[in-house]
Amino acid sequence: MNQLDALRQWTTVVADTGDFKQLSISKPQDATTNPSLILKAVQKPEYRPLLDQTVKKHAGKPLDEVIDRLLVNFGTEILQIIPGRVSTEVDARLSFDTAATVARGERIVALYKAEGIDTEKRLLIKVASTWEGIEAARLLEQKGIRTNLTLLFSFAQAVACGAAGVQLISPFVGRIYDWYKKSAGAKWDEAASAGANDPGVKSVREIFNYYKQHGIKTEVMGASFRNVGQIQALAGCDLLTISPELLAELAASNEPLEHALDAKAAAKGDAKKVSYDEAGFRFALNEDAMATEKLAEGIRAFAADAVKLEKLMQESGK
């Protein structure tokens, strides 16, 4: 049994890609996308026609709607290959606008429904884990729209998401690792900070254990991996979303894989339950320099890629 098959014994494997033609190789249960992945995909010759066709078919409509239609086209293609759910992201430029995020999420759902997709079972609306995004997710969940809270770097964000009743969270393992490595500079010890000691792995483990101990139903999906060691150290997490390159690396290894996270064992923990109102959340996030910086950086990067995608569409429509 290779490590990818071993991982599937305990964890739902999710592909993190816009390149849907690779999905038949790795055979994931679910798939996630984001603006950066879609931008990367449409710059490849095999996917550019999907962008051009979307722009041509919806010429004259607002650019933000055409982008949503492109995202839904990618998602619909993905759902023809995978058996589970696809995550489609709301424009990161709306990360601090609850009402606009809800409206955009509802529009994406409507577009999927028009394609005949069972959105309650097969779609997650991806939203940044700002206070406003978490509140938007709370409202969407109340409407029966399932959500995936992304750009999650802190325990406070995870606690607020659990309280909001979101379907799933995506803590970013690799980006947490990046911050601590850069912060340590020449003092960074790669070997001492690998595996279970990786700061990104430790963050996800803390969240996973807390959720299981307190019966929080929100699913934990580790994301943004830099190496297979981080994935191996989280075997047993509810879900892990993994790039095609790292999926291939796992499939190529026949080394034994340890069951690292166990929900039953985690449920026996003794961590106190905590809660945050808006002021408490903002202060806790502010106190975490890594989470504050990586959240802002992530929103800026996704917003920049949304602008690049818009420019490609405008060029295509000329």
List the catalytic residues.
126
Angle at 305 between CA 303 and CA 309, to 5 degrees: 115
Could you give the CA distance from residue 243 to residue 225 in angstroms, rounded to a whole number? 8
Could you give the CA distance from residue 160 to residue 194 in angstroms, rounded to a whole number? 28
Inter-axis angle of helices 48-57 and 35-42, nearest 10: 100
| CA distance to 7, 61, 111, 264, per residue, from 64 (Å) | 38, 8, 13, 44
Beta pairing class for 30-32 and 168-171: unpaired
